[in-house]
């Protein structure tokens, strides 16, 4: 009877370990941290190249295309990360985390695909700008809401809702901040776009840290 009782305890312990492994979202914490790092590096490269262009009397075509194409660096980074984490999670049989990687991969890569599409289609400049900045903000926030509901994390849910409200308020104000001048023209950035940049860089890093700490409890 003692051996049977010990065997039952061992089986229950194994079931708990398997259940925790399958539902442990701390395993994808580094995915979100990596997303934030990629976007942070991309923004830093924008700043560096912008400062270089400011001091140039004539900007060559190749240099200008490099500046315009920095967004593709983040897209390539997203694709590589999704591929790595999908492969890793399949081997660990972590179905829920794998589903979240699929969702986030679709939102991040799909959002960039839509942004490129609206740039290529012959819309007005204001329409293109509106669609681009809205999609860049909306897709990561949707991903945060889905994540918050799936893992039943109130902090992530409320943070996402508050960010949406803050973005609507800031965008409605129409405030633009001058970040410099290029070739004699002022370069202004909307405060809503600045908030989006903070979300997809520092926000993703903080999300990853939160998930990591949550899994260690």
Q: pLDDT tens-digit profile of 114-131?
A: 777 776 665 555 666 666
Q: How far is 133 from 83, CA to CA, in rounded Å?
A: 26
Average confidence score pLDDT of the chain: 76
**What's the whole-model pTM score?**
0.78
CB distance 113 to 92 below 8 Å: no
The DSSP bridge pattern shows strands 176-182 and 185-190 to be antiparallel
Q: What is the DSSP string of 97-121?
A: HHHHHHHHHHHHHHHHHHHHHHHHS
CB distance 212 to 26 below 8 Å: yes
Model confidence at 180, pLDDT cuts 50, 70, 90, reads: low
Is 1's pLDDT higher than 70? no
For 17-60, write each residue's pLDDT tens digit: 434 444 456 778 889 999 999 989 888 888 888 777 777 767 67
């Amino acid at each position: 009877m003692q051996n049977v009782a010990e065997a039952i305890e061992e089986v229950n312990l194994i079931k708990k370990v398997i259940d925790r492994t399958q539902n442990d979202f701390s395993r994808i914490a580094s995915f979100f941290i990596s997303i934030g790092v990629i976007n942070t590096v991309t923004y830093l490269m924008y700043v560096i190249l912008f400062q270089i262009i400011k001091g140039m009397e004539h900007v060559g075509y190749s240099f200008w295309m490099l500046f315009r194409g920095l967004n593709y660096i983040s897209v390539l980074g997203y694709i590589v990360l999704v591929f790595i984490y999908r492969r890793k999670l399949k081997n660990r049989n972590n179905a829920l985390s794998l589903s979240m990687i699929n969702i986030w991969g679709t939102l991040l890569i799909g959002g960039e695909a839509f942004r490129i599409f609206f740039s290529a289609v012959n819309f007005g400049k204001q329409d293109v700008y509106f669609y681009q900045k809205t999609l860049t903000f909306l897709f990561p926030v949707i991903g945060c809401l889905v994540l918050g509901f799936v893992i039943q994390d109130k902090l992530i849910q409320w943070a996402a809702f508050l960010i949406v409200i803050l973005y609507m308020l800031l965008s409605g104000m129409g405030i633009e901040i001058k970040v410099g001048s290029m070739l004699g023209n002022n370069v202004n950035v909307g405060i809503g776009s600045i908030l989006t940049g903070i979300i997809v860089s520092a926000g993703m890093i903080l999300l990853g840290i939160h998930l990591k700490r949550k899994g260690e409890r």
